[in-house]
Amino acid sequence: MTAFTIHAELVPTNFYTRWHCHCCGGTTEKVGVLCEVPKSHPTHAGFRVCEKCLKAGDVQQQMLDHADELEQRAKYLRDTASRLQVPTYAEWQYADRVADAVQVLYHTTDFEVPTNEVLAWPREQQLEIIARAEAVLVREAAEREAASRLVSGDSDDIPF
C-alpha cells in the first residue's frame, strides 16, 4: 500500500532549545534550523527530525529502530504494570517534607544525618526534624524582615 508522501522542511528558529525528535526519540541540539513538517499539514504537523538523524543518513531506518525500541518499552511497561507496588502519594509527600527538613538543618545547623537514615527513623523523630527545620525557616524569615527594615529605614518611631 502506498501512502501520501509527507514533506518535512528546514525551518529557522530563534528559540534555541533542545526540541524533541519524533524520528529517534532524542532531541535536537540548540540549533537555529529545525527539520519539521509544516504546521499546516493535516495529520503530521510539527513532526520533527533532529540533525543527528539527518546526519545518520537513513531516517527511515532511524524511525523503524525507534519504533522497535518503543514496542520493547511498551512490552516492559505492560509486564511491570500489574506487579509493581508503590508507596501512596501521601507517603511520598511526607517523605519529601522530611527530606526538605533534613536539607534545611544540614545547611543551617550542625545536623549531618543522611536523609536515607532519617527516612528510616520512627515518625515521632521525623516530626521533630520537621519542626526544627520549620523553626529555623521562621527565624530566618524574621531575621530577613528585620534586616530589610534596617536597610529601608522603616521604623514605627518615625511617623511618615
Residue 26 or 87 with smaller CB distance to Zn ion: 26
Residue recorded with cell 526540541: 19
- Smallest gap from Cβ 26 to Zn ion, in A, equals 5
Instruction: Name the E strands within 8-89.
Output: 9-12, 33-36, 48-49
Residue number with CB closer to Zn ion (35 or 129): 35
Backbone dihedral angles phi then psi of residue 9, each to the nearest 5 degrees = -125, 165
Closer of 50 and 129 to Zn ion (Cβ): 50
C-beta of 69 vs 140, nearer to Zn ion:
69
Cβ proximity to Zn ion, 48 vs 126, nearer residue: 48
> SS3 for 49?
strand
Could you tell me the maximum CA-CA distance found in the chain, to the nearest angstrom? 87
Determine the 3-state secondary structure of 131 from DSSP.
Answer: helix
User: Smallest gap, in angstroms, from Cβ of residue 46 to Zn ion?
Assistant: 14
The CB-of-74 to Zn ion minimum distance in angstroms stands at 20
Buried b (16+ CB within 10 A) or exposed e, 130-156: bebbeebeeeeeeeeeeeeeeeeeeee
Minimum separation from the CB atom of position 75 to Zn ion (A): 23
Binding residues vs Zn ion (CB under 5 A): 21, 23-24, 26, 50, 53
Q: How far is CA 146 from CA 22, 113, 141, in A?
A: 54, 31, 9
Nearest-approach distance from CB 71 to Zn ion, in angstroms: 18
Single-letter amino acid, residue 106: Y
